[in-house]
A and B are shown apart, each in its own frame.
Chain A
Amino acid sequence: MKTWQVHIIIIFFVCFSCDNESVERYFATPSSLDIPKLFEDNILAPVIPIDNPQTVEGIALGKKLFFDPILSIDNTLACVDCHAPENAFTDSDKFSDGVDGIFGNRNSMPLFNLAWNYDEKFFWDGNTFSLEHQAFVPVTDPFEMKSNWTDVESKLQQHAEYPSLFEKAFGASNIDSSLVTKAIAQFERTLISANSKFDKFLLGELNLSPEELNGFNVFMDEAKGDCFHCHGSDKNPLWTDNIFHNNGLDETFADLGLGAVTGDPADNGKFKSPSLRNLEFTAPYMHDGRFASLDDVINHYSQGLKNSSTIDPLMKKVDQGGVGLTDKDKADLKAFLLSLSDYDFINSK
């Protein structure tokens, strides 16, 4: 027998050899993400941790937990209270108030297409790695739910429904915080938005108005909006790079953003580029919700830029406040941005 034949036999032997240990494992019902065609065709696959696969039972549990105030210390505040579906899972208020009525200092982030955040850095300043770890934070944050995990686990364990739901989702009768966050993360990964007017235009299903088309050109023109370097494009339908930039909001920083996380002064004043999808529903804008309207945002980039040591080099004509878009280009840019509104998304959850 030739050597290569021996090798093949050995490989088969290794691959198919029996494992003597008999271990009973519970498997919930797999539920693959419904990946939009534009995502499938143009960008990398979503990030799904190997130790937290999507399942029907896990997603249902995560959704129930997301909408349930049981995670808060006094059972008054749920995730959904600051991440409302009708607002593309953000808060219409500048800042959100926690169980004690105390407001935080950053605008609630909208939640969609989170599985395509390839670097898995979450929050405005990227302080938390992975969606599962992100879900830990608000539960114990004193300005949000102000709980502690021992109490939450105890409440869930004594609940009439949750023990069986965790059993079905994870095969575990003992509820712990990691299973809670895994379930919530599974639900959050199903929050997929890709059915806006512009998506349908890219799919050849309808036409844009001349104003929307011109607005898209302003967005893609390096000498005008130059939005595409940080906010995606027709080829990157996330409409964000999920990277941190100083977009010229301030000369000095009351909030260091990424710099407070990394300790690097070169990161001061940098915050994550948010997706431009669903802007129609996500006002106010910026990490501190300082802009009430899209007009305010466009005016900022056009004529309101402020210089600082970490302002992104892509911010242009900073000494003049910006590139100075015409009123027509501003209006058309706004029309294009609003074509990224996904009504199906906000009505489907």
Chain B
Amino acid sequence: MQRIILIILVLFMFTSCNKDNGVSQVQITFKFSHNWDGTAVSNANFNSIIYTNANGEDLSITKLRYLISKITFEKSSGETFILDGYNLVDVTNNTNQSFTPITTIPDGDYSKVSFTFGFDNDDNYNENYIDLNSASWNVPELLGGGYHYMQLEGKFIDNTTTETGYAYHTIRAVDNSGATQVFQDTFFEVDVGAVNITNNATFNIEMNIAEWFKNPNTWDLNVLNQMLMPNSSAQIMMYENGQNVFNLESVNQ
């Protein structure tokens, strides 16, 4: 009994709030859900041709995983808190769809909360991430190295009514056609707006997968289905279409 009491005391110490000067440190969680124009998508819906993109092509999803990083909280004063770490959301294996960085932030009003889709160039090239390497997430040095931002794969019915594979992989765009490589940034910041944080908070982020094929570029899978990593113009179109795929559904706290 004595030992149980001691353990309870220790647990109490670890879970007790840290509140100084009326400000509490709070834990932030980002939860990711996925839909196709409002219809929920999970790996249970994979491998069946049940979706239709903006170009009218029927398609399936067989794999979806993507990287987010640099969750950032910014106060109106300009004070900024960047949460450590990155997260490889893996819908295929139903893992990492909830991400709770170790870093805590003070509660209070934040004028802007955001995260980065993919890695910014600093993160992309200046670190060797053994977990991402183990997940075969790298980009070949021929294309500048670094890491994938997203792998979306599946099948579609092509214009000969044949099931054909597509591999919509997003990376930093690189044009290898000239004597020197020409890069264009394709990571992007997702701004989820202003939030008043009063407690430990969970941000529920939605990805509408259909948007990758929709706006502003109506994606023609018959033309752009595979070998898209070395296709600089395709990467830039993916970047443009990516601007509207994420949405803050709610904040629970």
Contacts and interface: CB of A to CB of B under 8 A. Distances in A.
Interface of A: 4, 7, 10-11, 13-14, 17, 41-44, 118, 217, 220-223, 226, 228-230, 232-236, 241, 264, 266, 307, 309-319
A220 B138 CA distance: 10
A230 B63 CA distance: 13
Contacts of B226: 222, 313-314, 316-317
Nearest to B158: A319
A118 B134 contact: yes
B133 interface: yes
Contact of B165 (A4, A264, A311): A311
Interface string B118-150: 000000000010110110101011100000000
B140 A313 contact: no
Given A312-B165, A313-B167, A236 B138 contact: yes
Nearest to A6: B9
A93 B164 CA distance: 35
A230 B142 CA distance: 17
Contacts of A312: 165
Contact of A222 (B46, B62, B227): B227
B227 A235 contact: no
Contact of A14 (B6, B136, B154): B6
Given A232-B136, A313-B165, A316-B226, A44 B130 contact: yes
Contact of B140 (A17, A233, A307): A233
Contact of A11 (B10, B131, B154): B10
A43 B134 contact: yes
Contacts of B160: 319
Contact of A7 (B10, B136, B164, B167): B10
Q: Is the interface of B mostly helix, strand, loop or mixed?
A: mixed
Contact of B13 (A7, A17, A266): A7
Given A41-B128, A228-B136, A233-B138, A313 B7 contact: no
A221 B142 CA distance: 8
A314 B167 contact: yes
Given A220-B141, A220-B142, A266-B47, A316 B136 contact: no
B10 A228 contact: no
B6 A10 contact: yes
Contacts of B191: none
Given A222-B229, A223-B227, A223-B230, A313 B166 contact: yes
Contacts, number: 94
CB-CB nearest 3 A-B residue pairs: A313-B165, A266-B47, A220-B140
Interface string B155-184: 100001011111100000000000000000
B165 A315 contact: yes
Contacts of A43: 130, 133-134
Interface of B: 3, 6-7, 9-10, 13, 46-47, 62-63, 128, 130-131, 133-134, 136, 138, 140-142, 153-155, 160, 162-167, 226-230
Contact of B10 (A10, A220, A233, A235): A10
Contacts of A318: 164-165
Contact of B162 (A222, A230, A307, A310): A307
Given A10-B6, A10-B10, A230-B136, A313 B142 contact: no
A220 B9 CA distance: 56
A10 B13 CA distance: 10
A329 B3 CA distance: 69
B229 A309 contact: no
A311 B46 CA distance: 14
Contacts of A226: 227
Nearest to A267: B47
A14 B138 CA distance: 45
A302 B141 CA distance: 23
A313 B47 CA distance: 11
A13 B63 CA distance: 50
Contacts of B165: 311-316, 318
15 contacts: A7-B13, A10-B10, A220-B140, A222-B229, A223-B230, A234-B141, A241-B136, A266-B47, A266-B62, A307-B163, A313-B153, A313-B165, A315-B165, A316-B165, A316-B227
A154 to B, nearest CB: 42
A329 B96 CA distance: 39
Contact of B142 (A10, A217, A307, A310): A217
A228 B138 contact: yes
B129 to A, nearest CB: 9
A14 B230 contact: no
Contacts of B164: 318-319
Contacts of B10: 7, 10-11, 14
